[in-house]
Amino acid sequence: MCTTNVLVALRNIIENNNNELLQEYSKYTDNRANTIGDALEFYLKDAFCNAFDMEFSGKDKQYSKYLSYLGNKNNPPDFIVKNSIAVEVKKVNWSKKSFPAIALNSSYPKDKLYSDSTLINKECRDCESEEWEVKEMFYAIGSVSGNSVKELWLVDGECYCADNSSYERIKNLIKNGVESTNGVEFTKTNELGKIKKIDPLGITDLRIRGMWNIEHPRKVFDYLIKDELKESRFKIYCLMLKNKYQLLNDEDKKLLINRSDLVNLSEVKIKNPNNPAKFIDAVFIKIDFDKNIEMKKNNLMDIFNI
């Protein structure tokens, strides 16, 4: 079985060395990547599946080697790596001064993906050859300017989100309050509420939906990057729990760390999403595509004694 992981995806992005999105993916005739958000999703799938250099017509077969689920527009996640992590891809507009919140719509933040969640569909639940109960969740958040992704965050859900009970408690509190309203006819729904037959003819329904947002990782983890003010052509930040990093393939670690011209890896302490008074051990990977240009420039200056 072909295997992949976050470190493989990072290495493939480095080797591809291209942060153009729409320009790269819109040239294919089947027009499946007709928006910047679609293109970002293909970009991440290519990264995990080593498919950057493949013709678009052959990508589906390549994806099937590495991925067990390719997602849909209405349900999380956007794809699942075989016997491994689930990935949710989000696009926001790049700004030097502000980083907008991430719109999760009706799906609250997830530290992990659970098979009994009412928010996922049957195809996702049955995507593996063996039944699964829980999958590690990663958020891939791309800040896009024009046709290019300027900054990409790959964040372990357990570093970013509280456990399900935090969100379910609020959701159920609101849902129960709405459904206790007298004089209206409710029907069963996974949303906060659905009221039937609002008008005299009984032909109008009202759906009550939750619209969830979560702060951009740059704001949440600003204490990890507070000294990084210089703008770069393309930056990647990857954050995961230390114990998960330790389980990854040693060869994949070595191949990534060997790119010291671009990559900086450090062990950090981050706030526990379930109790910010406590800190947890994590690994933070920073990749700056301008760093190797600076190193080459410095090397030339040394050679010529500038």
List the structure tokens of 149: 């992704």
- Contact, 47 vs 13, CB < 8 A? yes
Higher pLDDT, 253 or 105: 253
pLDDT of residue 210: 85
- Determine the Cα–Cα distance for residues 225 and 230; give it in Å rounded to an integer: 11
Q: What pLDDT, in 10s, does the model give residues 215-260?
A: 999 999 999 998 665 678 899 999 999 999 999 999 999 999 898 8
Residue 304 has pLDDT above 50, yes or no: no
Quick one: 21 exposed, middle or buried, by C-beta within 10 A (0-12, 13-18, 19+)? buried
- Contact, 149 vs 43, CB < 8 A? yes
- Determine the Cα–Cα distance for residues 33 and 285; give it in Å rounded to an integer: 29
The predicted model gives 290-296 an average pLDDT of: 54
pLDDT of residue 23: 67
pTM of the model: 0.89
Quick one: 204 exposed, middle or buried, by C-beta within 10 A (0-12, 13-18, 19+)? exposed
Residue 166 has pLDDT above 90, yes or no: yes
- Between 6-16 and 36-49, two packed helices, what is the crossing angle to 10 degrees? 110
pLDDT of residue 26: 64
User: What φ, ψ does residue 151 adopt, rounded to 5°?
Assistant: -145, 135
Quick one: 183 exposed, middle or buried, by C-beta within 10 A (0-12, 13-18, 19+)? exposed
Q: What is the mean pLDDT of the chain?
A: 88
- Percent pLDDT > 70 in the chain is 89
pLDDT of residue 180: 84
- Determine the Cα–Cα distance for residues 192 and 175; give it in Å rounded to an integer: 5
The predicted model gives 152-177 an average pLDDT of: 94
The predicted model gives 185-206 an average pLDDT of: 86
Q: What pLDDT, in 10s, does the model give residues 16-59?
A: 999 988 666 765 545 554 588 888 999 999 999 999 988 878 89
pLDDT of residue 28: 53
Residue 178 has pLDDT above 50, yes or no: yes
> What is the Cβ-side half-sphere exposure of residue 79, based on CA atoms within 13 angstroms?
25
